[in-house]
Amino acid sequence: MTTAQTGATEYDARIRRAESLSTEHAFAAEFLNFYKHVAAFQKTLRANIAASSGVKLHDALAAELRSPLDLTVLLPHFRGFLSVIEQHAPAALAKAANQMSLLPSDSWIASLEAYWQHAGKYDQQVGAFAQFVPRAFLQPYAEFRAALTPKPPVVMTMRVCPLCASRPLLGVLRVEGDSGKRFLLCSFCSQEWEFRRIHCPTCGEEAEGKLPVYVAEQLPHIRVEACDTCKFYLTGVDLTKDGHAIPLVDDLAAVPLSLWAHEHGYSRLQPNLLGT
């Protein structure tokens, strides 16, 4: 097993980042502390997936990212995941996890398979809260499959993920030469692909005057990248301003920015794991 398959270093970095952000930003501490428990579970699950998939690696490589779930690997971990949520989630989510734990495994399978087929593509109506359980549970599996999938050639205006056809969760600016290069991060398999700097990933608007950017004082490296044509926004994490940021985690701390965006009539293209 390689580290790319187990993802252990990535998960450790996410957990450490959640720890440091939660001490700096009290307004996001509850979410981030809960997220730490989720990420710790995901790390173990990902290692288990990698270990049990060793013999099937050849098949996995030939398969599409969204080809059917291997339930024999996943299901034995599902009850343990629900108890992590019950113990550490905010009250409403803990209750939902408890209710789900009482259902027969057929319902678990139906919920996991529905998420696996449609997530990131047609789920704007579903609501992040309803989606939390299958999404957090299957994220390591999607990331594992993505790590095995060869990257297609770069096309600068792909508005959906080149690997799994999901919508982007975030924009990411990475240091490149004197300035930064923009990438989009997939809401389903967490892979990044390169994207143009001045271009709305929802409607294709390219006029700079129609694409306002908002930055909050508390989090100068996170930006709302809005579009006045379609009224959607993307949260952008600017690694040229903070090289320690982990986009997936820093986004969970960006509460003041989502409030600002909603007050100004912008909707988020894809909600994050915690629905903020």
List residues near Zn ion by CB under 5 A: 161, 163-164, 166, 186, 188-189, 200, 202-203, 205, 227, 229-230
**3-class DSSP state for residue 182?**
strand
To the nearest whole angstrom, how small is the minimum distance from the Cβ of residue 28 to Zn ion?
Answer: 25
Closer residue to Zn ion (CB): 97 or 161: 161
To the nearest whole angstrom, how small is the minimum distance from the Cβ of residue 143 to Zn ion?
Answer: 9
To the nearest whole angstrom, how small is the minimum distance from the Cβ of residue 203 to Zn ion?
Answer: 3
Q: Angle, to 10 degrees, between the axis of helix 78-88 and the axis of helix 29-52?
A: 170
Closer residue to Zn ion (CB): 10 or 253: 10
To the nearest whole angstrom, how small is the minimum distance from the Cβ of residue 145 to Zn ion?
Answer: 9
CB 233 within 8 A of CB 261: yes
Query: Residue 275 CB: number of other CB atoms within 10 A?
Result: 16
And the tokens for 5?
């398959």
Tell which residue, 231, 46, 56, has the closest CA to residue 140: 46
Tell which residue, 151, 184, 186, has the closest CA to residue 4: 151
Closer residue to Zn ion (CB): 32 or 227: 227
CB 111 within 8 A of CB 134: yes
**3-class DSSP state for residue 220?**
coil
To the nearest whole angstrom, how small is the minimum distance from the Cβ of residue 273 to Zn ion?
Answer: 15
**3-class DSSP state for residue 190?**
coil
Closer residue to Zn ion (CB): 37 or 212: 212
Closer residue to Zn ion (CB): 205 or 250: 205
Closer residue to Zn ion (CB): 246 or 269: 269
* Cα dihedral value 63, 124, 11, 148, nearest 10: 10
The residues that bridge with 204 in the sheet, in sequence order, are none
To the nearest whole angstrom, how small is the minimum distance from the Cβ of residue 33 to Zn ion?
Answer: 28
Closer residue to Zn ion (CB): 22 or 272: 272
Tell which residue, 210, 223, 215, has the closest CA to residue 170: 223
To the nearest whole angstrom, how small is the minimum distance from the Cβ of residue 65 to Zn ion?
Answer: 7
The residues that bridge with 176 in the sheet, in sequence order, are 179
